Amino acid sequence: MERIAIYPGSFDPVTNGHLDLVHRGLKIFDRIIVTILTNPKKQFLFSLEERMQMLRASLSGAARVEVDAFDGLLVDYAARRGAQAVLRGLRALSDFELEFQMALMNRRLNREIQTVFLMTGMRWIYTSSSIIKEAAQFGGDVKGMVPQLVLERLTTKFPQPVTPR
């Protein structure tokens, strides 16, 4: 049986931490479906199309990875796609409470789908899409934290004003 994991998220935008997790997941699963939440209630910096494009470009070399989008319940999507697991990354302890809550809710909703947590690499332990966006917004250098394409897109979204002399 093919072992398939769904790796869900907002990916607004994809970071090197996300990519690290996909590559770790590929050591355990035969196939990973990276899927973007399309929930229109959330405010995203990048459109769904932009987020998909950045993910696809960043994962173009990964043969066993598919990029998709979903709306509604995650466990329903996972069942529809024939997946046995939901993959989530854990960084600091602060991630744990929400992740624990989501995993237990998902288990209650569908007992067949297991949540698998993997630790991100130490290099990415303090990075998140949110903190990267915040730094980029105020002109912080986020090079090396996101794929090159994402870096370019962030620079386009947040052009830096010419510093007055």
Binding site for ligand PNS (CB under 6 A): 8-10, 37, 73-74, 102, 105-106
CB of 10 to ligand PNS, least distance (A): 4
Catalytic, out of 41, 42, 108, 143: 42
CB of 60 to ligand PNS, least distance (A): 21
- Vertex 32: Cα angle to 102 and 9 (nearest 5): 40
Give the C-alpha separation, 97 to 103, whole Å. Answer: 10
- The verdict on whether 42 is a catalytic residue reads yes
Shortest Å, Cβ 119 to ligand PNS:
16
By beta-carbon proximity to ligand PNS, the closer residue of 86 and 154 is 86
| Known catalytic residue at 23 | no
* 157 belongs to the catalytic site: no
Catalytic residue numbers read 18, 42, 91, 129
